[in-house]
Amino acid sequence: MLTARELTKRYGGTTAVDSLTFDVRPGLVTGFLGPNGAGKSTTLRLLLGLDRPTSGEALVNGRRYVQLPQPARQVGALLDASAGHPGRSARAHLLALARGGGIPRRRVADVLDEVGLSDVADRRIGGFSLGMRQRLGIAAALLGDPGVLVLDEPLNGLDLDGVRWVRGLVRALADEGRTVFVSSHLMSEMQLVANRLVVVGGGRLVADAPTAELIASWSDPRVVVRTPDPAPLVEQLRRSPRGPVRVAPGADGVLLVRGATPEEVGDAAHAAGARVHALYREEASLEQVYLDLTGAEVRHRAAPPRSRAAAHGRTARKGDR
């Protein structure tokens, strides 16, 4: 288990982490989300004993990291996929980590096989692609067979097969009862794999809730209906006995309905004699919720491409029109 209690870190006059309190529990994949500069990396470093908090506590299984006996067997971490010396082979890198952590040598072959690097184990890390270095970093995190895993952007550089593999790996680790804390900017993956989300912005806690609950509570569900007979359907919906139903036009000629279920919209269409070509509830996405939660905390916001072109006085070339 990972615990942050009123965790605060200041660098001079800058507060990177501001009174964060949350738990990362065993048996779950907990996603750690926030825009660049939100304090995620600093929080992970505090949890892993790489930085000292200004105030508050960062605990692993109830202790500060520096108090853990054989910490490599209790906590595995991926913070920087390029951490290995480029002149070493993958096998030599993991053997050095195993020796330093009091981990049996046999674990090196086990994790190389688990991450799919057995066939390149004796190649120098400097010749690895980003995806291969990422796999090696995950192998290092798994080396001590720890009960707590901290993975910072584990999907960077991975192809689709690698992304699916990491998705299955973190779910399997959590299903074994381990504590899994994953930081990522890929909202679609977090929505698929994370049971719970901790969201930060400006160093402060923005949300801490189960993923499904967070999406459901933040969204305003809409029913999408495509019909060649919109007028009678709209009139029928506005006479709903439940109360006001909001109907707005959407892209591609659809109607967007709020305040009614798909079944109620279908019944209204039948009563109005309106033909329906499509009818479904629009599913909310974690991306929408995340942008709503953290939009005010984004530090580096680029101008829209059109505005940028106008600012530079550019016009489209003939071949671009």
Give the right CATH number for 2-216 from 3.40.50.300, 3.40.50.10420, 3.30.70.980, 3.40.50.150. 3.40.50.300
Q: At what angle do helices 262-272 and 230-238 cross, to 10 degrees?
A: 120
pLDDT over 50 at 321, yes or no: no
Measure the CA–CA gap between 116 and 251, rounded to whole angstroms.
45
Cα–Cα nearest to 5, from 18, 22, 17: 22
Longest dimension (CA), the chain: 76
pLDDT at 302: 54
- Average pLDDT taken over every residue of the chain: 90
Neighbours of 95 (CB within 10 A): 17
pLDDT at 300: 52
Note whether 2-216 and 220-282 share their fold.
no
Helix, strand, coil % (nearest 5) of the chain? Answer: 40, 25, 35
Query: Which DSSP state fits 150?
Result: E
Q: So where are the chain's domains?
A: 2-216, 220-282
pLDDT at 221: 76
Cα–Cα nearest to 77, from 140, 17, 169: 140
Measure the CA–CA gap between 37 and 227, rounded to whole angstroms.
46
- pLDDT over 70 percentage in the chain: 91
Measure the CA–CA gap between 45 and 52, rounded to whole angstroms.
9
Tokens coding 116? 């799919």
pLDDT in tens, 76-105: 999 988 888 999 999 999 999 999 999 999
Least confident range from 53-57, 118-122, 284-288: namely: 284-288
Q: Region 123-137: what's the mean pLDDT?
A: 95
Q: Alpha-carbon torsion 200, 203, 204, 205, what sign?
A: positive
pLDDT in tens, 187-200: 999 999 999 999 99
Q: How would you label 202-233 residue by residue, b for 16+ Cβ within 10 Å and e otherwise?
A: bbebbbbeebeebbeebbeebbbbbbeebeeb
Q: Region 97-120: what's the mean pLDDT?
A: 96
Secondary structure of residue 48 in the 3-state scheme: coil
Measure the CA–CA gap between 80 and 157, rounded to whole angstroms.
12
Measure the CA–CA gap between 111 and 116, rounded to whole angstroms.
8
Tokens coding 313? 């006085």
Q: Provide the CATH number for the domain formed by 220-282 in this structure.
A: 3.30.70
Could you tell me the pTM of the whole model? Answer: 0.80
- pLDDT over 90 percentage in the chain: 76
pLDDT in tens, 221-269: 789 999 999 999 999 998 877 677 889 988 777 999 988 889 999 999 9
